[in-house]
Amino acid sequence: MKKIIMISLLMFISCFYYQNIKASDYLTYQEIVFDIDGGELLEDFSYQDYEKYYGRLQKRRFWGWITLVSYDAEEVTFTKETLYIIENQGDTAITQTFSVKTEEQVKKQYSVTGSLGMNISGKEYGFKLGLEEELKYSITATKTSSVEEEFEIKVYVDPMTKLIVQIQGEGKVSSGVAKYYRFWKNVKKGGWEIFVVTTEYYSLQKIRIDET
Amino acid sequence: MKLKIIALIIVILTSTLTILLFIEDTPYTQIIISPKIYSIVKSSDTESFGITFLVNDTESYYFNKDFVANIFLTSDKDEIIPLNIIEIDKSVEYYPIENHKYYYVTINLSIGFKSDDYLICLEEAYLNITYSNSKEIKLYIGEFNYLFSEEINSDFSLNDLFSTHKTIEGIDTASGLFLNLGNLTDNNIVITKIIIGSKDVLANNFYLTELFEDINLGDYPKDILKLDDYNFFVYGDYSSNRILLRKNNEIDLYVPFSYIGSISFLHRFYVSVEYIVNGEEKVFIIDDFPFINTSCYKEELEKGFAYYEYEN
């Protein structure tokens, strides 16, 4: 009976357990699928996951980070939102030039939960308190670049059609938990995640507009 | 006491000066470039393209627009293509090679002359820059194809366009082209050939085919074409298939690629569709499209990097 009460209590706590997540754009992607079975994003970590990972962290320290890597550059495939480009509701075909601004291998994107902090813009973009520097020694080094290129494309759009550009791609996800100490006191703790887009595949599609 | 303080200051100053004497300025500017296939259609007056490389020192005058006296492309056949610099972008992001940091520099350029109908095709292109102090650099950038074409084609509607991709010899690259074309004319059209804007990578028109099933980006050419195997490194200049596209109809087409040159990846390219309508041979140009968007600076491409070193 005790066991049942304990399990029920645990499940009850899990239901209300909520880790406030601060994240970059990638969490708005339509779909992210891990190549490995059972892979999950930080936003899907459960109370039990956090307890398990915190339990694996080393003992407290005088000052600084202790970290744990639960996913190390795991490969994922994703579908981004569809980019709507041109809609022609007229009676005659139109020719238009549109430009797509792309980044060659998009920058790293970040998420944190709990009391971990991140800067979401500017030069200091990334985790606060030098967490990434600490992680570089443990996660697989990923070379990233972010060179912007603009593509100008001229297209012919038939009447009652719309032109869309769909983006699918591949990336790598690293995640885990971390605690930050000052004078042996744990002052910050939570989950962290780094998402790196390695390749994007663009496709152009023309769709007939429903006349009804 | 005063003497001790003065002595201490002298010792600190002497040590600092000695250390400064041994710190050398960077004597060389190192440039690393990943040669690739440039395949561009000039479809507007603002058309530009970027050439990106890695450098050890972004502050070097080699990357200062004000010091550039002349910039142009050359080939091994003595062709010269004048260029205009639009801007030089320097990134704080870096790419590490053997524990050294190399920063991204992109020179955004436009072609230095105008034309209505002209193809620049440099199979081995070099970027040449001369500076106001008469120094020169010459960098191998890969294959350069630039088509001047502002003609609007109203015979076709382009309904779908994507490239299948496959890892060939360790590099993820375009393996074939899928497109859906609609016939906007009042006549039947005969499609004779599909050409992509490259010499190292060719559309293998022997296998140009009409498709009757949907395909995905990751499908392999041999499965799409229902073959036992497809060899990416074999190409023959076979007579092309002729595919009929009836009036008021549309068609799904697929053509696989052959890799016959030194550059073994293709990400962005333009397409020419050759066809006959009303007995007249014509060409439909599809503007260059970023089929695969990824960096040319990554581990699997490092063996192809070209390294340069120039005195400061």
pLDDT digits (tens, 9 = 90+) for A135-188: 776 665 555 555 556 666 667 787 888 888 888 999 889 999 988 898 988 888
Share of chain A above pLDDT 70, in %: 72
Nearest Cβ partner for B43 among A141, A144, A152: A152
**Residues in chain A, overall count:** 212
pLDDT more than 90, % of chain A? 9
Determine whether the interchain pair B104/A147 forms a contact, defined as Cβ–Cβ distance below 8 Å. yes
Instruction: Please tell me which residue of chain A has the smallest CA distance to B171.
Output: A199
Q: Where are the beta strands (DSSP E) in chain B?
A: 28-33, 36-42, 49-55, 68-75, 80-97, 100-111, 117-131, 136-149, 156-168, 171-183, 189-196, 201-203, 209-210, 243-245, 250-259, 269-277, 280-289, 292-294, 306-311
Asked if B96's CB is within 8 angstroms of A156's CB, the reply is: no
Asked if residue B69 has pLDDT above 90, the reply is: yes
* CA distance linking residue B248 with residue B32, whole number of Å: 51
What pLDDT band is residue A13 in, cutting at 50, 70 and 90?
very low
Q: Is 0.90 exceeded by the ipTM?
A: no
Is it the case that residue A43 has pLDDT exceeding 90? no
Taking residues A120-149, report their average pLDDT: 66
> Is the per-residue pLDDT at A26 higher than 70?
yes
Q: How far is CA B1 from CA B7, B8, B9, B15, B124, in A?
A: 10, 11, 13, 21, 73
Confidence of residue B301 (pLDDT cuts 50, 70, 90): very high
Q: How far does the CA of residue A152 sit from the closest CA of chain B (Å)?
A: 7
Which of A198, A203, A208, A209 is the best mutation test for B, with the most CBs of B within 10 A? A203
Q: Which residues of B are less than 8 Å from A33 in CB distance? A: none
User: Closest Cα of chain A to B304: distance in Å?
Assistant: 17
- Higher-pLDDT residue of A67 and A13 is A67
Q: How many residues does chain B have?
A: 312
pTM: 0.82
Find chain A residues with C-beta within 8 A of B50's C-beta.
Answer: 147, 149
> Which residues neighbour B199 within 8 Å (Cβ) at sequence distance 6 or greater?
B121, B123, B143, B145, B261
Examine the pLDDT at B60 and tell me if it is beyond 80: yes
pLDDT surpasses 60 at B11: yes
Collect all residues of chain B within an 8 Å Cβ-Cβ radius of residue A146: 91, 93, 104
Q: Do A160 and A89 contact (CB within 8 A), yes or no?
A: yes
